[in-house]
Amino acid sequence: MKTIRILINGCNGKMGQEVAKRARIMEGIEVLCGVDKADSGDNFFPVYTDLQAIKEIPDVIVDFSVPSSSMKILDFAVEKKVPIVIATTGFSEEELAKIKESGEKIPVFQSYNMSYSVIVMRKICSELAKLLDGTDIEIVETHHRRKIDSPSGTALMLAEGINEALDNKFYYEYNRHDKREKRSPNEIGIHSIRGGTEVGTHAVIYFGEDESMEIKHTVTSRGVFAEGALKAVKFLINQDNGVYNMKDMI
Ligand SMILES: NC(=O)c1ccc[n+]([C@@H]2O[C@H](COP(=O)([O-])OP(=O)(O)OC[C@H]3O[C@@H](n4cnc5c(N)ncnc54)[C@H](O)[C@@H]3O)[C@@H](O)[C@H]2O)c1
């Protein structure tokens, strides 16, 4: 098997560093170069701060950065015809539309969560919502103090799965502080907790009469996401143009 040479966008971030570390020991993958706002000088691969200066053409790009940077590296990927794995979260509707459009020109993999278990959780939570129709559903996500977007992309992904399973009857409630009214049966409350170094926890709770049920997923190491992103690299290199996600890979 030919070694796949990757470019890591956001290479100096927590996830970028984790991807580089894993790629170093994973067979069939090599880090060709990285892109970030500044070159820390600590990497074992060349780091670019300007996309125009990149000399190498990678086989696949892996993006763990911020939405504005993802959009720039996406333009670069389309221009150079390089498949891209987008793991960044917090995109606007317009940015998501641009990602979808790019799938007509290159293979694109996008997932708000690169963990296989979370995709299983989405499936279970959607099924449970049907079985427990009529319960009040709340989602609580917890992340480290540095996370800039909220709610997490994964919380939204879980909510969307539940909503699709029940004919899109729900709307999402993020803020009850300004309201003085009872909870609607058609809302899914989504709550974000931020603090410390917590990697990421998602809980979906179904509240019924005198009972409740909770499905919870906890990640204790970023390695889980890095591993998933590198598996997505190996998957994407063999795909035609299109937008893929974890469900396609599984
Ligand atoms: N899909 C998943 O499974 C998953 C898992 C973990 C994190 N994430 C997401 O990945 C992203 C990165 O997470 P992180 O914890 O590594 O964050 P981080 O803040 O540690 O890293 C982000 C990196 O992007 C760089 N960056 C910012 N602007 C840039 C620009 N204009 N050009 C180039 N680089 C730029 C920063 O300098 C930083 O090194 C976030 O959106 C996070 O939510 C996704």
If we measure between CA atoms, which residue out of 218, 4, 232 comes closest to residue 111? Answer: 232
**H-state helical runs in the chain:** 14-25, 67-80, 93-102, 116-131, 153-165, 223-236, 246-249
The whole-number pLDDT of residue 41 equals 84
**CA 65 / ligand 1 centre spacing (Å):** 3
The whole-number pLDDT of residue 178 equals 86
Residue among 19, 42, 72, 89 to mutate when testing ligand 1 (max atoms within 8 A of CB): 89
Residue among 64, 192, 198, 244 to mutate when testing ligand 1 (max atoms within 8 A of CB): 64
Exactly one of 143, 202, 217, 231 is catalytic; which is it?
Answer: 143
**CA 210 / ligand 1 centre spacing (Å):** 42
The whole-number pLDDT of residue 180 equals 87
DSSP 125-160: HHHHHHHTTTSEEEEEEEE-TT--SSS-HHHHHHHH
The whole-number pLDDT of residue 40 equals 84
Alpha carbons 157 and 13: distance in angstroms, whole number: 24
From the first residue on, what is the mean pLDDT of each consecutive set of 10 residues in the chain (250 residues)?
A: 94 97 95 94 94 95 98 98 96 97 98 92 96 98 95 95 97 91 96 96 98 97 95 96 90
**CA 13 / ligand 1 centre spacing (Å):** 6
* Structural domains of the chain sorted by starting position, each given as residue range(s) with its CATH number in brackets: 4-114+223-249 (3.40.50.720), 116-219 (3.30.360.10)
Task: Please give the distance of CA 149 from its chain centroid, rounded to a whole number.
Answer: 12
The whole-number pLDDT of residue 83 equals 98
Active site residue 147: yes
* Dihedral sign of CA atoms 142, 144, 146, 152 in order: negative
Question: 12 CB less than 6 Å from ligand 1?
Answer: yes
The whole-number pLDDT of residue 59 equals 98
